[in-house]
Amino acid sequence: MQFTGCGTALVTPFQPDFSLDEAALRKLLQRQICAGVDFLVPCGTTGENPTLTRREHLRVVEITLQEAAGKMPVVAGAGGYNTQEVMDLARELESVGANGLLSVTPYYNKPTQEGLYQHYRAIARSTRLPIVLYNVPGRCGTNLEPSTVKRLAEIDNIVGLKEASGNISQMAALANAVPDDFAILSGDDAIALPLFALGGRGVISVAANEIPAQMARLCQHGLRGEFAEARAIHRKYLPLMEINFIESNPIPVKAALALMGLLEPVWRLPMVAAKAENLERIRAVLQSLQLVERNSVAVSSFAD
């Protein structure tokens, strides 16, 4: 099984002029690698991929591959609502050396279940790379149902699913529907622990941007069935997992990383800085977990 354990849904750092901050990206990647995460996921939703040009998208993946240097897989974001464009992107990502693809369900055009099946079948035929499906109905407006995932799991290079429906009953049905070697990964940090009990194989984590070592340990314990140890980590960091979604992702996580001194507080429109009151709440959580000092960056420095 290629993609199990803790995968980090990487942010994309920008410079104050909104250009890609390659130096910050490399530092973030080295922090992930040294912390022992299991795989890296650049250019997903957390990476603000809708606002990246194709050239930038490929460049972020190239840098991630360079820093990973074969130490861990790189699963690059490759989703969208235009099947042909996703197929083209999949081929380009294969050509630059990505180890796998994370492909979100088409958003806005709301295909039927048969449309979703045919969409992913076409992408799978366009590349030799292993594909992880991504179901996040809260953002995409469509739900990838267990019966459809079961059909897709029969395709050789569709190897897993990032499940972010928040529906535990659906996750249980998925675990019963797919083969044992098909990786069900949590798309929500707060649900990773219960998903392990259902047979989940890991998480593609937002919180791992901030606490990579801790999320990696949570997954290690979960995969070994060491639930008391996993619960202790989950309970300690649940406030961080929750505060990361006080506003639309990746607004809070990038604010937190900026408070931690790891990147500039820059988002590309239509993402904007967090509200001042929410930034204070983010800071309070970071301070409670000793992730920032009491004299960390002032709120005023995050103003638009």
d(CA 20, CA 54): 13
**Residue 108 known to be catalytic:** no
Ranges of residues in the chain whose predicted pLDDT is under 70: 1, 295-304
Residue type, 234: H
The pLDDT tens digits for 270-297 are 999 999 999 999 999 999 999 998 765 5
Cβ(219)–Cβ(192) below 8 Å: yes
Identify the active-site residue in 27, 71, 110, 134. Answer: 134
Q: Give the total residue count for the chain.
A: 304
Per-residue tokens: 19: 């250009």
No. of H helices and E strands in the chain? 12, 8
**Residue 150 known to be catalytic:** no
d(CA 201, CA 70): 21
d(CA 300, CA 189): 29
- Could you tell me where the beta strands, DSSP code E, fall in 92-247? 100-104, 131-135, 158-163, 183-186, 202-205
Q: Which CATH number fits domain 5-224: 3.40.630.30, 3.20.20.70, 3.90.470.10, 2.40.50.140?
A: 3.20.20.70
pLDDT of residue 294: 74
Identify the active-site residue in 27, 108, 110, 162. Answer: 162
**Are β-strands 75-77 and 39-41 bridged in parallel, bridged antiparallel, or unpaired?**
unpaired
* DSSP string of 80-92, one letter each residue: -S-HHHHHHHHHH
pLDDT of residue 161: 98
What's the pTM?
0.96
Delimit the domains of the chain by residue range. Answer: 5-224
